[in-house]
Structure 1
Amino acid sequence: MRPTSMASVIHKTLKATSLLQLLTRLTHTQQSFALFTATAAQSMDPGTTQRVFQLKLDPLTGNSEWVVIEEEEEEGFSQNYQKPLLATTSYLDMLNDSRRNRAFREAIDKTITKPCHVLDIGAGTGLLSMMAARAMGSGDSTRDTGSKGIITACESYLPMAKLMKKVLRLNGMERKINVIIKRSDELKVGTDIPSRADVLVSEILDSELLGEGLIPTLQHAHDMLLVEDPLTVPYRATTYGQLVESTFLWKLHDLHNNEAKASDGIRLVSPGLNTNLRIKSQQYAMHCDAIREEIKLLSEPFKIFEFDFWKRPDSHGENEMCIKATDDGKVHAVVSWWTLQLDRDGTIFYSTAPRWINSSLARNSSDAAQGSVDWCDHWKQCVWFVPGKGMSVFKDEEVHLHAVHTETSISYNLKNQVPSSENIHYGSCAGDLELKLSPERIAVYGDREWRVSILTAIGNALQERVNSLCMVADDSVFLPLLVAHLSEKSHVISLFPGLRQKGIKDTHQKQVDLLIGEPFYYGNEGMLPWQNLRFWKDRTMLDSLLSRDALLIPCKGILKACAMSLPGPVDIYLHRKRFPCLPFFVWQCGEFKELSEIFTVMEFDFSELIRLRHGKVQVKFSQPGICHGFALWIDWVMDSENSIMVSTGPDKRYWKQGVRLLPTPITVGTYGSRNVGECCSAVLEASFDPSNGELIVVPNFS
């Protein structure tokens, strides 16, 4: 059988929803899957009820709904939306970053030496504002400053602003700091603040540095809110980069050349054609320390851009760099990071550099000497992928790198890159047919082991069906092509979001005898692994359309777990009443240690309609250590013989796991040990609620 390409299937009309329609519609429906948050206050007057309107995605249906969060409700969330605010944002890890907090405190103490007007933009929990208050003596009743300073904390996100007010009240500073719930570019001197501010303190940075609007925020602040030549903390930010070779990073974007190695004949990216599938051309945040052993450094670190907080930045900048290769190899990516100079004198620094960088660019040397390793997920390094197979270089060869920054992003171009004939498939595409996927999804589609598993399971199923009606329940691009490749007589319906009702009507009264899914949903990329049990919800909804002997692929989901030792403090949970599971790439989260064997918590049988499930299992620890929580994931059983399984565990690096942290770390020993203070076993209970897709996990130690 000749290879099946996307192009050939696009021009072949399927008797149900065509792939052309599918791709066209998906391009326009992807954006609706994003989680958007909007806030509005009914009234800012004291004594009146404030409400937050938040758009929430239902993982089991793909639909979104607005939920109203009342001011009086505990933790700022309603009973219908019970995830704690801090636990679902990067604030949790950021507040636990002792190096960051210490560096900002030292710089603020050094910068603010007398009463003045301090503006904190993006104040969050109010930590920097409280540091400024203490530096001025506003938070110390025993210190006589002779006059009073002004501290304005600007925070536009209402739930966070409300939390900040509680934090200030608990610290006795609610009267020392003026909280304004507005965007900084909405502030008016003379209305919101009495005068221009003398000092700016802020931390509106992401892993790329610019993604949270640093440049436009600073531009407006210098134009409208700050005095001339203000003091700022931070004082300056500098971005750095390094050329690297890494097969792992290459697999995250080069689907064309990975598919060329596959023997299944399926081609999502056709040679010589502009690609329909690719990742977005941007930098991607990643903990690169976790793949240090798989990275070959091909250059010394080089400076890319410098941004001064104390003066108005430009919206656009370019930099031409000539970089000398330090070794022979193939440049697959540019790894980048940033370093903050927090004080004007240049004595206090903080950096997101990977640990292989020397101490002059990396984090505080005293921390490095102590070997401290935190588990943090708020700032990472960034990776920019070199298109195609990468660029071959020889030691001492000069590589010309062109860097461009806009108001919100940084991009690169290697001037002496591979010839265009080798990477023509990375060019622009016809708008309606262009589909941009995450790097992890691209890597999955190019993964030989994954493709063999899926092909074998569906190939075996199609052998039992003649003229089958196959329905693809998720947003897979690979599966419709695979079915068309394996069986020319099969009819395929793809139930992408937005096409579900159309697809159901196009069955022409014929029953579906093969329901398949990867399962993987575009809208769930940032969600927990069991929320892909939406496949079970779809199977239940489609029950009346399925034949009595319909085959389901996958046929079962197995919730797996493992007790973990995870570096870094989790003290922020000590005073919380609820402990949710958080989505993480566990392999990126530092040096973790498995303390138990992998065990099964519960199973989800897709031959049944979706229902409440409960699991309870005793955990026997196989390694001594400090248990910080449990990693959980789903293994998908693809056939009824249980012979083909697709795992999404920590050793499979293209999927996120759910991490259930404990309120306090617990010392554990091997099962049967009798050491004082050690737990040798635990009981893990889990309940799955089919009405909302939530999984409640409760560990009990003994």
Structure 2
Amino acid sequence: MASLFPKTLTATGFLQLLPRLSRIHHSPVHSKVTTSRTMSSGSSQRIFQLKIDPLTGNSEWVVIEEDEEGFTQNFQQPLLATTCYLDMLNDSRRNRAFREAIEKTITKPCHVLDIGAGTGLLSMMAARAMGSFDSTECDGGKGMVTACESYLPMVKLMKKVLRLNGMEKKIKVINKRSDELELGVDIPSRADILVSEILDSELLGEGLIPTLQHAHDVLLVENPLTVPYRATTYGQLVESPFLWQLHDLHSNEASACDGIHLTTPELDSIINVKGQQYAMHCDPIQEEIKLLSEPFKIFEFDFWKRPESHGETHLCIEAINDGKVHAIISWWVLQLDREGTIFYSTAPRWISSLTTTSSVDWCDHWKQCVWFVPGSGISISKGGEIHLHAIHTDTSISYKLESQKQKTEVLQQELSARDLQLVLSPERIAMYGDKEWRLLNLKAVESALQGRVKTLCMVADDSLFLPLLVAHLSETLRIISLFPGLREKGLQYLQAVSPSNGLSRDRVEVLDKRAKHLTLCDTHQDKVDLLIGEPFYCGHHGMLPWQNLRFWKDRTMLDSVLSEDALTIPSKGLLKACAMSLPDLWKSRCCLSKIQGFDHSVVNTMLGACGNLPESDDSPFLPFFVWQSGEFAELSERITVMEFDFSKPMSPCQGKSQVKFDKTGICHGFVVWIDWVMDPQSCIVISTGPDKRYWKQGVKLLATPRAVVPEGQRNAGSCYSAVLEASFNPSNGELKIQLDFS
């Protein structure tokens, strides 16, 4: 991407280019990381890493200086710790399939092009496959491997891996996107064989189609050999109350007894999920899924020929059970060799157990995908038919489903509330429709309003539920919402749904100001008596639970406008933890050694490896939905490590607690989350623990799994307790936790 930048560029100048970069990112970028940028400055290169400030919700580009041996990082977490590289490289089934297909495909000296080369694993496999050929045959670009990788940190890692394996002279590394490669400049001739793995859970999201189009137009010979050879997507119609809760807020809140209507009959989809496929591990909810069809083939993509940017297919699917179609679960199958003997599948286990593409190992880099059927779903009887219209673009696959009875209803759902629609994550929509969550908020606000006649209430964040709840409970209360993220859309939303909630359109005042700029002039000299917020909303995808403490930061900045006896909801946060057995997750984050014969030990630090580390090294905390992390089991009581007191301005916090194991097992790590205490009496608590599906937890994996037993069953080699010590730094929102086993 060097051609995009002037010869010298300041950090400010770089930030001014971000709108342009965001557009560029939709073209083929062969990387598992989307939050870093590279620029040249003089004779050196700099990496800009996007870092989220957990206390403000803002993001900034942090400069990471490069030297010849690596990177001098100015923040603690390994540069690529939260990416899927490590998990992918630990996938032995994937690695073996690619090796077998590459060795079967490369039968003579040729020019091999590896697009999105990563650590160079596939390139080394190709070079080794050609290693037995006579070097005199390697003329005119034959007998060579070109590795194309656009992301500079991976290029640096790849070069280290190649040197470690004695492959640096056998593989030409090019730090460019594949659509920037020039024939006769970067590569001497068109390549005979393409090896590439630029696939996401949906298949197309990493730019597979435009990448293949450019490669066939410019970089490959006619009718090239490819690994993989073909990919086929499949789907299945399912009924699932859990999946239904993740997108249909209108139907789910109908049974709530609080009288709050976040949606209305006229605006039933004013709050909705984005119309896309969502990557999700479906095996954990297998018992909650009713299969309504046999698996059906949707699209087929041949890597060996140029794909089309747009494709459509119409299918008539017969129902195998009575039920209501809530979602389409989809997956893909790779055929890696031309003959069709080597396969890899992302199918759920209820499918893969019936095929030769059996998926036995849990992995997180590829999951199944879920497409939510709009509204409350489509009713179908066994033997009945549903028509599916599938469409693919350059980067995604979408669906339209209809039965004869449902055509008008589905069309209406697609058209309603289009102009006012707010797009939320599936987890947040499910939370808003959860009766228990709504009831706990209702009780907390009712308790806070007791005895208060004239009160100024301020909603500090983007909550849609809380302003309506407060207005519903008190006719005299003055309410201000800040909507720091939604801004004008938040105001439009409240005005649209207020009449259905029996409120005037101006019942809630929306201030177009950030908390740090707010003064008593904005509140007409009135002090805020009740400050409420929804700090446990689903934030950035890669954020840890305690990085939702923005509410505490806002409360601190608003201190000058709060009354002396002001109440906050929630009143405090409890940092909770428990020891867990997590064998699948631990295996996926292990240190790498040999992968199909190639040493990868030099990549562990940069990729944030956790398992099999030296005991002196510390592993990073990683955000995961524990319920989607393969096999897991709690091995200890749930303990409180530290408290955050929101009734006071933000300050440093420390905590120390002993964890006593109450089950015998193998401890792979500790899971940490926050429970939100909603009232001063600590009677109303909303938990975000590992048994809750709407929130991610923080996971700290151990370098070496520990055998643990209850205290009364002490035996040699087993631990019966551990001590967790935590400290919170309010200046940067960082949390440090130390572990000590007994």
Question: TM-score w.r.t. structure 2 length?
Answer: 0.85
Gaps of 5+ in 1: 1-27
SS at match of 2:663: coil
Q: Counterpart of 1:643 in structure 2: which amino acid?
A: C
CA deviation after TM superposition for structure 1 residue 359, in Å: 4.3
> Cα 1:503–1:329, aligned 2, differ >3 Å: closer, same or farther?
farther
CA deviation after TM superposition for structure 1 residue 468, in Å: 1.5
Q: Counterpart of 2:406 in structure 1: which amino acid?
A: V
Question: Which residues of 2 match residues 669-680 of structure 1 at below 5 A?
Answer: 669-680=709-720
Q: Counterpart of 1:697 in structure 2: which amino acid?
A: I
SS at match of 1:105: helix
CA deviation after TM superposition for structure 1 residue 228, in Å: 0.7
> Cα 1:78–1:519, aligned 2, differ >3 Å: closer, same or farther?
same
CA deviation after TM superposition for structure 1 residue 274, in Å: 5.6
Counterpart in 2 of 1:102?
96
SS at match of 2:314: strand
Considering only aligned residues, what root-mean-square deviation do their CA atoms show, in Å? 2.3
- The answer to whether 1:640 aligns with 2:656 is no
CA deviation after TM superposition for structure 1 residue 363, in Å: 3.4
CA offsets 1:40-75 (integer angstroms, 9 cap, x no match): 23259xxx4321012322110122222100113986
Distance 1:259 1:453 in 2: 15
Distance 2:129 2:416 in 1: 53
- The answer to whether 1:437 aligns with 2:424 is yes
Q: Counterpart of 1:58 in structure 2: which amino acid?
A: D
Counterpart in 2 of 1:461?
448
- The answer to whether 1:356 aligns with 2:375 is no
Counterpart in 2 of 1:176?
170
Counterpart in 1 of 2:590?
571
SS at match of 1:293: helix
More displaced, 614-623 or 657-666? 614-623
- The answer to whether 1:383 aligns with 2:370 is yes
Counterpart in 1 of 2:406?
418
Of 242, 248, 257, 1:263 maps to 257
* Partners of 1:254 and 1:388 within 8 A in 2: yes
* Partners of 1:524 and 1:532 within 8 A in 2: no
Gaps of 5+ in 2: 1-18, 26-32, 486-511, 592-608
Of 101, 105, 117, 2:111 maps to 117
- The answer to whether 1:50 aligns with 2:50 is no
Question: Which residues of 2 match residues 519-530 of structure 1 at below 5 A?
Answer: 519-521=535-537, 523-530=539-546
CA deviation after TM superposition for structure 1 residue 309, in Å: 0.4
- The answer to whether 1:624 aligns with 2:619 is no
Counterpart in 1 of 2:689?
649
CA deviation after TM superposition for structure 1 residue 575, in Å: 4.7
CA offsets 1:497-524 (integer angstroms, 9 cap, x no match): 2643376552122111111112145643
* Partners of 2:655 and 2:727 within 8 A in 1: yes
- The answer to whether 1:334 aligns with 2:374 is no
How many residues in Structure 1 have an aligned counterpart in Structure 2?
A: 656
CA offsets 1:289-315 (integer angstroms, 9 cap, x no match): 010010011111110000000000011
Counterpart in 2 of 1:205?
199
Distance 2:70 2:583 in 1: 27
> Cα 1:390–1:38, aligned 2, differ >3 Å: closer, same or farther?
same
Distance 2:551 2:69 in 1: 33
- The answer to whether 1:283 aligns with 2:277 is yes
Counterpart in 2 of 1:500?
513
- The answer to whether 1:602 aligns with 2:602 is no
SS at match of 2:718: coil
Counterpart in 2 of 1:11?
none
Counterpart in 2 of 1:215?
209
CA offsets 1:239-280 (integer angstroms, 9 cap, x no match): 000010100000000000111111111111111236321111
CA deviation after TM superposition for structure 1 residue 362, in Å: 6.3
CA deviation after TM superposition for structure 1 residue 183, in Å: 0.8
Of 663, 669, 681, 2:721 maps to 681
Distance 1:329 1:478 in 2: 32
Of 527, 531, 554, 1:515 maps to 531
- The answer to whether 1:483 aligns with 2:470 is yes
* Partners of 1:476 and 1:520 within 8 A in 2: no
Q: Counterpart of 2:400 in structure 1: which amino acid?
A: N
Distance 1:487 1:74 in 2: 64
Question: Which residues of 2 match residues 174-253 of structure 1 at below 5 A?
Answer: 174-253=168-247
Counterpart in 2 of 1:538?
554
Distance 1:187 1:74 in 2: 26
> Cα 1:74–1:536, aligned 2, differ >3 Å: closer, same or farther?
farther
Counterpart in 2 of 1:559?
575
Distance 1:529 1:279 in 2: 22
CA deviation after TM superposition for structure 1 residue 147, in Å: 3.8
Distance 2:169 2:728 in 1: 45
Q: Counterpart of 2:678 in structure 1: which amino acid?
A: M
Distance 1:670 1:618 in 2: 13
Distance 1:61 1:333 in 2: 36
> Cα 1:393–1:647, aligned 2, differ >3 Å: closer, same or farther?
same
CA offsets 1:294-344 (integer angstroms, 9 cap, x no match): 001111111000000000001111111111111111111100000000011
SS at match of 1:118: strand
* Partners of 2:374 and 2:413 within 8 A in 1: no
* Partners of 1:271 and 1:425 within 8 A in 2: no
SS at match of 1:319: strand
More displaced, 651-660 or 143-152? 143-152
Distance 1:74 1:443 in 2: 47
Q: Counterpart of 1:378 in structure 2: which amino acid?
A: H
Distance 1:76 1:578 in 2: 19
SS at match of 2:472: helix
SS at match of 1:159: helix
SS at match of 1:228: strand
Distance 1:61 1:77 in 2: 26
Distance 2:653 2:247 in 1: 38
CA offsets 1:356-391 (integer angstroms, 9 cap, x no match): 004464634xxx6xxx443x2211100111111111
Of 340, 343, 354, 2:337 maps to 343
Distance 2:255 2:356 in 1: 39
Q: Counterpart of 2:534 in structure 1: which amino acid?
A: E
Distance 2:240 2:347 in 1: 18
- The answer to whether 1:71 aligns with 2:90 is no
Distance 1:136 1:360 in 2: 36
More displaced, 456-465 or 286-295? 456-465
> Cα 1:189–1:206, aligned 2, differ >3 Å: closer, same or farther?
same
Question: TM-score w.r.t. structure 1 length?
Answer: 0.89
Percent identity over paired residues:
70
CA offsets 1:649-676 (integer angstroms, 9 cap, x no match): 1111011111111122222223243433
More displaced, 64-73 or 519-528? 519-528
SS at match of 1:130: helix
* Partners of 1:373 and 1:590 within 8 A in 2: no
More displaced, 150-159 or 67-76? 67-76
* Partners of 1:339 and 1:350 within 8 A in 2: yes
> Cα 1:278–1:74, aligned 2, differ >3 Å: closer, same or farther?
farther
> Cα 1:36–1:379, aligned 2, differ >3 Å: closer, same or farther?
closer
> Cα 1:485–1:105, aligned 2, differ >3 Å: closer, same or farther?
same
More displaced, 172-181 or 405-414? 172-181
Distance 1:424 1:320 in 2: 21
* Partners of 1:571 and 1:664 within 8 A in 2: no
Distance 2:291 2:620 in 1: 39
